[in-house]
Amino acid sequence: MSSCDTTNVSRVRYSDVRRLALPLLALLCWTGRAQAEAVFTGPVTDARLALGVNARPLAAYISNGVLSIAERSDVGAWSAASVDLPSADVEIDGLAVDRLGSPTLLLRERSGAWLALAGLGRRGQWRWKTIFPDAKRDRIGPSGLALDPQGRPVVAYAVWLPSRKTYLRLVRTDSYFGRLVTTRITRGGFPSTATLPGAAPVVLPSGKIRVVETYLPAAIEWRPIPGDWLGQFLHSSALGVPVGPVAAGVTGSVVFAAWTEAYPMLGPPAVVVASHSTHAKSWIAIEDAALAALVVTPRGPELAANRCVPAIAFGLDGDGICGGLVGQSELDGVVAGFAVGADGTHDVLLDDAAGLSWYRSPAPLGVEVTLSAARSGAAVQLAGRVAGTTGGAVLLYRERPDEQRALVATVTPAADGSFQASDLPPVLPVDYRAVYVDAVTGLPYAALLRQPVS
């Protein structure tokens, strides 16, 4: 067994809710654009976003059993290459683009029956490499993808056995999409866990590799030592359960990781962030949310997440009502992808009732919308504020799960950003959302009540 060092101790369904040589060109791509750019019209089950050559955005998404990679041209048109998937229930565990603009994806059958590397060459040809667990009943947990300095894929995954034993592995290729070379990180079934473990690789600036693993009830960062791997605990919780994928990145010598932590006995999940340099530490970064993406910049980590009001809060079954978060800004739609360019531009891929839309902001998102509601007899009094900008209008919607939302008011904020409105809902409970569309970027900033009015 490897040694382990314990010192320094809307309506879209996601399974886990649910990633410059020509800066002037990038600037021209967003300046003055007050509309979203449609990437795909229709329902998707998973999506990712990455930046390619000259910060050109690429979006990968799955719809009706078809995988597509869409790329934006310099004139703002999106074109996609698509391929049928071997399974109807597949998630995207990673998307990366090399220096030549060639994308590589990591796909996983949601039950954990297989893992696959999918590459799209510059001539549009698809390449596949499939990884299966050792035995039919074994399962592969949520996995991670990175590129080494030569642009070759680096994959980390953990195999889970019905006995609760796990085996963490690192996979590399001997060329861009050549033979798979597997390295065993843990042996002897360590760590034992009742849930599927998650894994993500990190490639340091030196080219050295770290692997972050999450499992019930902890997170470990693994690094190679002569003849073995050494583990450093990043996080442990007696009440929390890491669920879904883990994201990881590095700036300088500091490794960051983020994942969703469920709290079955306490309440809603939260996004947990851990870091390790000379010491390891972890903290809750976003309450009542599920991780959508982690981007590590020279300034530190930036997070995107999604927050939902479950249908059970309305006394209903099925999907809840969701909204995205990027930093402190809430958005009208589920965050399907998030990326930060070398020049500081922030790209967001939103999934809403219409499909996938792409937005670019020249700087970190800085608008915050707040909303509150109070009963007054049969009426509901709504009040809120838009901070970080001036002008424009606020759209106020009444919402219930699996129903088309209703616009109840359009109001102009006062000089201090405050606004008010009133509504007579035909049925209770109901939720409300305030939406403010930025005039420059087209980003739909929003605030969704976290508790229905009842």
How far apart are alpha carbons 115 and 106 in whole angstroms? 7
Whole-number pLDDT of residue 120: 85
Contact 270, 263 (CB under 8 A): yes
Domain 368-448 has CATH 1.10.10.10: no
DSSP characters for 159-223? EE-TTS-EEEEEEEESSTT--EEEEE---TTPSP-SS--EEEEEE-TTS-EEEEEEETTEEEEEE
Whole-number pLDDT of residue 380: 98
Going by their DSSP bridges, the two strands 153-160 and 139-140 should be labelled as antiparallel
Contact 221, 212 (CB under 8 A): yes
How far apart are alpha carbons 302 and 23 in whole angstroms? 21
Confidence of residue 123 (pLDDT cuts 50, 70, 90): confident
Checking if the pLDDT of 398 tops 60, the result is yes
Q: What stretch(es) of the chain map to CATH 2.60.40.10?
A: 368-448
Q: What stretch(es) of the chain map to CATH 2.120.10.10?
A: 3-361
SS3 annotation, 312-325: HHHCCCCCCEEEEE
Residue 268, token pair as written in the block: 């809603």
Whole-number pLDDT of residue 8: 34
How far apart are alpha carbons 272 and 137 in whole angstroms? 30
User: DSSP H helical segments within 334-448, as ranges?
Assistant: none
Contact 110, 91 (CB under 8 A): yes
DSSP state at residue 311? G
Whole-number pLDDT of residue 394: 98
Q: What is the CA radius of gyration of the chain?
A: 22
DSSP, collapsed to helix, strand or coil, labels residue 105 as strand
Checking if the pLDDT of 221 tops 70, the result is yes
Give the pLDDT confidence of 7-28 residue by residue, as tens digits. Answer: 333 333 333 343 322 222 222 2
Checking if the pLDDT of 33 tops 50, the result is no
The average pLDDT across 30-35 equals 42
Which residue is listed with tokens 């305030």? 434
Give the pLDDT confidence of 320-357 residue by residue, as tens digits. Answer: 999 999 999 999 999 999 999 999 999 999 999 889 99
227: left (phi over 0), alpha (psi -120 to 50) or beta: left
Give the pLDDT confidence of 275-326 residue by residue, as tens digits. Answer: 999 999 999 999 999 999 999 999 999 999 999 999 999 999 999 999 999 9
Percentage of the chain modeled with pLDDT above 70? 92
How far apart are alpha carbons 51 and 58 in whole angstroms? 6
* Structural element, H or E, at residue 28: helix 23-30
How far apart are alpha carbons 33 and 166 in whole angstroms? 49
Q: Residue 206: which residues within 8 A CB-CB, separation 6 or more?
A: none
Our CA dihedral for 357, 363, 364, 368, rounded to 10 degrees, sits at -80
Average pLDDT of the chain, as a whole number: 91
The average pLDDT across 402-411 equals 96
How far apart are alpha carbons 254 and 231 in whole angstroms? 16
CATH class of 3-361: mainly beta
Number of Cβ within 10 Å of residue 449's Cβ equals 19
Give the pLDDT confidence of 163-190 residue by residue, as tens digits. Answer: 999 999 999 998 777 889 999 999 999 9
Give the pLDDT confidence of 228-248 residue by residue, as tens digits. Answer: 999 999 999 999 999 999 999
Checking if the pLDDT of 131 tops 60, the result is yes
Give the pLDDT confidence of 48-73 residue by residue, as tens digits. Answer: 999 999 999 999 999 999 999 999 99
Whole-number pLDDT of residue 35: 64
Q: Which residues pair with 422 in a beta bridge?
A: 381
pTM for this model (two decimals): 0.91
DSSP, collapsed to helix, strand or coil, labels residue 359 as strand
How far apart are alpha carbons 454 and 452 in whole angstroms? 6
Residue 300, token pair as written in the block: 């530190």
Contact 19, 95 (CB under 8 A): yes
How far apart are alpha carbons 365 and 443 in whole angstroms? 9
Whole-number pLDDT of residue 175: 77
Distances (CA, A) of 123 to 126, 153, 379: 9, 19, 60
